[in-house]
Amino acid sequence: MEKELIKAEIMLKLTKKNNWGACYDRLEHFKRFPDLKKIIKELEKKFWIIIHKKPNYTAISLNTKYKREIAEFIYEQIKIHYKI
């Protein structure tokens, strides 16, 4: 799978679950994606993903400040119009 497409699929899954800001999802729910840790670090560098480190698990959510950029990226990669 192409790396950019994987990024878009991860973020699409987060948007469908409405995981923005303080509402997050455990990283273990995304283990089907290859190179997950590397992709999450890349998205964190763009400030699109927020990592929440808890004592028993690590979780991720989308950054609300970049809603438009995230929506455009998902649309470009997956070619769907998902209203955020």
Q: What are phi and psi of 5, to 5 degrees?
A: -65, -40
Check: pTM over 0.85? Answer yes or no. yes
Q: Which helix (H) or strand (E) holds 70?
A: helix 67-78
Give the separation between CA 26 and CA 78, rounded to whole angstroms. 23
Domains of the chain, each with CATH number or no CATH: 3-33+40-78 (1.10.10)
pLDDT in tens, 53-62: 999 999 999 9
Give the separation between CA 4 and CA 42, rounded to whole angstroms. 11
pLDDT at 79: 77
The set of residues, in sequence order, having a beta carbon less than 8 Å from that of 36 and lying 6+ positions away, is 27, 30
The residue ranking higher by pLDDT, 82 or 63, is 63
pLDDT at 80: 65
26 is written with which tokens?
């455990």
